[in-house]
A and B are shown apart, each in its own frame.
Chain A
Amino acid sequence: MSLAIRIIPCLDVRGGRVVKGINFKDIVDAGDPAEAARRYDDEGADEICMLDIDASFEERSTTIETVKSIASQVFIPFTVGGGIKSLDDIDMLLKSGADKVSINTSAILNPDLIVEASKEYGSQCIVLAIDAKRTGESWNVYTHGGKNKTDLNAVEWAKQGQNFGAGEILMTSMDKDGTKSGFDNDLYCELSKKLSIPVIASGGAGELFHLVDAVKSGKADALLAASIFHYEEISIKKVKEALQNEGFEVRL
């Protein structure tokens, strides 16, 4: 008996509005976050993810308000990421209604944050988010919303994150993000071989078969996508039906 494959619509939020970019650039406005979250819940999303794409100190209060307004209307697991630097930040987000937090840049600058946060709140609420870009046969980790390249190998870093106590890995392929050309299944396949925690695949969803392939070939436990759901190009229900046809367990 396996768990249902999770479909996770992602809301990239800036200044209290949903926005969408291509390859991490060219940002456009795409609506009200709470309204979008409620619609996804209605359509059968298994979780909601909200990423504060350029979280800064000044915008923190906007983020908290957005988290509260989503949490008051959505009764499925809710992950929040972006600019989380300390246990206090995590505490604040969990108290505002997040069920899990997703940590990216700060985990690299301060790996102890993952260790301490998973001890304090449990691994189940700590998601390690990684932005990766292919270099030859491997993938490099990028920080600060994809702006800075590091020497870290993405698969190795994910494995380390698991050892530090992260409960899930949210891996975004920067090469694929926003391109609608399919997921980087080599990357996810590699991850699933090395990890014992769930892997959420993100970046590249454009066609229905891309999502099915990420589970079939990439062995992803969950699929995260933004624009295809946001612009109603593919419905969550369609994705689940396609997965079910291939023999995967889904919540319909």
Chain B
Amino acid sequence: MNLGVIDYGASNIFSVARALKSLGANVSIVDDPIKFKGIDKLVFPGQGSMGSCVRKLKEKEMMNPLLEGIKSKPFLGICLGLQILFESSEESEEQGLGLIDGCITRITDLQNENLKIPHMGWNNIKFQKDHELFEGIADKQFFYFVHSFIASQSGTSITTTNYGEEFVSSLALENIFATQFHPEKSGKLGLKFLNNFINWKV
């Protein structure tokens, strides 16, 4: 099985690739439309802003093969890789992929708790639904987050997390799974989650 890690030129692909390799996965870096060939599962690790991510994907002519891949293969989006699935984001004028309805918004400090933004550090995730990618992981465990924008509650939520307001910390839609947290930086439970993705049969 070949795992393709998308590299559009600005994300932390190395730590994601290292974590997957440590679990015995066969990992290739996909930084060119041709390299989507022969890939069985896709991982999209994102960092930075949605605008520059979409622009870079377009420049590299990776937008169409990526969309095709997301529609046909098991897909894991991480951080920006979750946000880009939505229609739009307050962060940029570029449109997202529009596979999930809704807009990505800036974290709002609803209770005036003097929250530090970005939301950076360990926070817990609460199950809203069961999902096989969380097999062996208990409710309310801590995962590592670094972000300033969020997806609000939607029908696709698997877990939610509270920081200023309740937001979607992971979601699933058929063969698509996405996390706002970074499993590659979440210690043993993060590795457990990634291992579940490697073994995931949609």
Interface majority SS on A: helix, strand, loop or mixed?
loop
Whether B162 sits at the interface, judged by CB under 8 Å, is yes
Cross-interface CB contact of B185 among A72, A99, A197, A221, cutoff 8 Å = A99
B-chain residues with CB within 8 Å of residue A2 when the two chains form the complex: 113
The residues in A between 2 and 50 inclusive whose CB is less than 8 angstroms from any CB of B are 2-4, 6, 41, 44, 46
The residues in A between 209 and 251 inclusive whose CB is less than 8 angstroms from any CB of B are 221, 251
A-chain residues with CB within 8 Å of residue B119 when the two chains form the complex: 3
Shortest beta-carbon distance from B31 to chain A in Å: 15
The reply to whether A1 and B162 contact each other, CB–CB distance below 8 Å, is yes
B-chain residues with CB within 8 Å of residue A198 when the two chains form the complex: 116, 120-121
Distance in angstroms between the alpha carbons of A221 and B19 in the assembled complex: 27
Residue in A6, A44, A122, A221 whose Cβ sees the most chain B Cβ within 10 Å: A122
The reply to whether B121 and A3 contact each other, CB–CB distance below 8 Å, is yes
Q: Nearest residue in B to A71 (C-beta to C-beta)?
A: B18
The reply to whether A124 and B18 contact each other, CB–CB distance below 8 Å, is no
Shortest beta-carbon distance from A189 to chain B in Å: 16
Whether B64 sits at the interface, judged by CB under 8 Å, is no
The reply to whether A122 and B48 contact each other, CB–CB distance below 8 Å, is yes
Whether B86 sits at the interface, judged by CB under 8 Å, is no
Whether A196 sits at the interface, judged by CB under 8 Å, is yes
Question: Which stretch, B65-73, B93-101, B186-194, touches the partner chain A?
Answer: B186-194
- Given A97-B18, A167-B120, also A75-B184 (CB < 8 A): yes
Shortest beta-carbon distance from B167 to chain A in Å: 11
Distance in angstroms between the alpha carbons of A124 and B117 in the assembled complex: 10
Whether A106 sits at the interface, judged by CB under 8 Å, is no
Distance in angstroms between the alpha carbons of A128 and B190 in the assembled complex: 28
Distance in angstroms between the alpha carbons of A221 and B122 in the assembled complex: 12
Shortest beta-carbon distance from B140 to chain A in Å: 11
Whether B15 sits at the interface, judged by CB under 8 Å, is yes
Whether A152 sits at the interface, judged by CB under 8 Å, is no
Binding site for A on B (CB under 8 A): 12, 14-15, 18-19, 22, 47-48, 113-114, 116, 118-123, 142, 144, 146, 162-163, 184-188, 190-191
What are 30 inter-chain pairs, A to B, with CB distance below 8 A?
A: A1-B163, A2-B113, A4-B121, A6-B121, A41-B187, A46-B121, A46-B122, A71-B15, A71-B18, A72-B22, A75-B15, A75-B18, A75-B186, A75-B187, A75-B188, A75-B190, A76-B187, A77-B144, A77-B185, A97-B14, A99-B12, A123-B118, A124-B118, A124-B120, A167-B118, A196-B114, A197-B116, A198-B116, A198-B120, A251-B142
Knowing that A1-B163, A122-B48, A123-B118 are A-B contacts, what are 19 other residue pairs whose CB atoms are under 8 Å apart, sorted by A's residue number? A2-B113, A3-B119, A3-B122, A6-B121, A46-B121, A71-B15, A71-B18, A75-B188, A76-B186, A76-B187, A95-B14, A97-B15, A99-B185, A167-B120, A196-B114, A196-B116, A198-B116, A198-B121, A221-B121
